[in-house]
Amino acid sequence: MGGSRAFAQDTSTGQASGAAAQTHEVQMLNKGSEGRPMQFEPAYLKIAPGDSVKFVATDKGHNSEAIPAMVPEGAETWKGKINEEITVTFDAEGIYGYKCAPHFGMGMVGLVQVGESPANLDAAETVKLPGKAKTRMAELIGQVGGAE
């Protein structure tokens, strides 16, 4: 009589394969484990298409948002609010650069590699970034499989 059903179906991934999508966690920190100020940790992730990343507001005053020029063509961008967690699902293969808006110039950037063949790697390498963000992003791009 008007009750809820006793089963649940997860259709959020939209994946046709039998592989279960994973959720990875990135912390937004005032100071990373290496002692660097204003960091995402880990700042570089390699994940499979369909996986998600949960950006956790571990310390106050941070957000996660895409750097639009550093996402694959046709892929969704995101913009989280300050002090709030946001979970982003990455379906398209490629490189996704992201930032903390208040600390962008201080080098608070991160990189997600989705899949094995980041078709937009060359384009991502040419994006102009401010201050320490440029140096930090170059370090992260250097971790991408196949990058020199």
> Which residue positions form the known binding site for Cu cation?
62, 100, 103, 108
User: Do residues 128 and 137 touch, judged by C-beta distance below 8 A?
Assistant: no
Q: What's the number of CA atoms in the CB half-sphere (13 Å) around residue 100?
A: 31
Residues in the chain: 148
The binding site comprises 62, 100, 103, 108
**What sign does the dihedral 123-124-126-130 (CA atoms) show?**
positive
CA-wise closest residue to 80 among 106, 54, 44? 54
Q: Could you tell me where the DSSP H helices lie in the chain? A: 121-125, 131-141
* Helices (H), ranges, 34-99: none
Nearest to 39 by CA among 124, 127, 143, 133: 133
